[in-house]
Chain A
Amino acid sequence: NAGVTQTPKFQVLKTGQSMTLQCAQDMNHEYMSWYRQDPGMGLRLIHYSVGAGITDQGEVPNGYNVSRSTTEDFPLRLLSAAPSQTSVYFCASSYGADQETQYFGPGTRLLVL
């Protein structure tokens, strides 16, 4: 198993550009989540999904969209990037509601100029 994979590893955007951060898992996990981590701070939940076709907002959802069309993939879309979205983004997945130890991906470092 590859576990949780994220692409790209690093991205530079200009203000106003759009992009999609990719996240995939090959463990047949129902639950997937996106977090952001700013320097010196803990992780903050952006969006999460409890299964294909179902998503919900976390702590800091503004400026981000998600969809979950398959169990394996959970992309995060930035429609119009802003410097405040400069951060490290982590995707995570877990098997089920009662086995919720989360597996995290390696992260995507995003710089918005």
Chain B
Amino acid sequence: DAKTTQPPSMDCAEGRAANLPCNHSTISGNEYVYWYRQIHSQGPQYIIHGLKNNETNEMASLIITEDRKSSTLILPHATLRDTAVYYCIVRPEASYNQGGKLIFGQGTELSVKP
């Protein structure tokens, strides 16, 4: 699976957009970009994933560059409850014998401040 690089920490003002970058320069054509977050002491929570098109759901937007070597997770109006560690994960389209296998990196610790 391709490796990802994320900044170790970021700050964001409450109510502003939080833009979390992720570099995945060795991504292959069949690899998806996943984002999870982990609020302190809790289990990780799925946010969003995509292959090459931009994606949006009720939690966030995912912008993937045209060359797919980097992506940005956008939380449009960050709240204090969005303070968490955010993980960017790259992995192939799941096959039967690889389902359930996610490799987490170090993530970005996002602090949303009042």
Contacts and interface: CB of A to CB of B under 8 A. Distances in A.
Given A33-B101, A58-B101, A98-B93, A42 B46 contact: no
Contact of B46 (A56, A59, A101): A101
Nearest to B107: A42
Interface residues of A, number: 32
Interface in A30-46: 30-33, 35, 41-45
Contact of A106 (B42, B87, B95): B42
B43 A94 contact: no
Given A42-B87, A97-B98, A104 B103 contact: no
Given A31-B100, A32-B100, A97 B43 contact: no
A45 B106 contact: no
Main secondary structure of the interface of B (DSSP, over half): loop
A102 B46 contact: yes
Contacts of B85: 42
A96 B96 CA distance: 8
Interface in B32-46: 36, 41-46
B102 A45 contact: yes
Interface in B59-99: 85, 87, 93-99
A59 B103 contact: yes
Given A50-B96, A56-B97, A98-B94, A104 B104 contact: no
A107 B41 contact: yes
A95 B103 CA distance: 18
A43 B44 contact: yes
A71 interface: no
Nearest to A48: B100
Contacts of A58: 101
Contacts of A102: 36, 44, 46, 100, 102
Given A100-B100, A102-B102, A103-B46, 18 more contacts: A4-B43, A30-B100, A31-B99, A42-B87, A45-B101, A48-B100, A48-B101, A50-B96, A50-B100, A90-B44, A92-B100, A93-B100, A94-B100, A96-B94, A100-B102, A102-B100, A104-B42, A105-B43
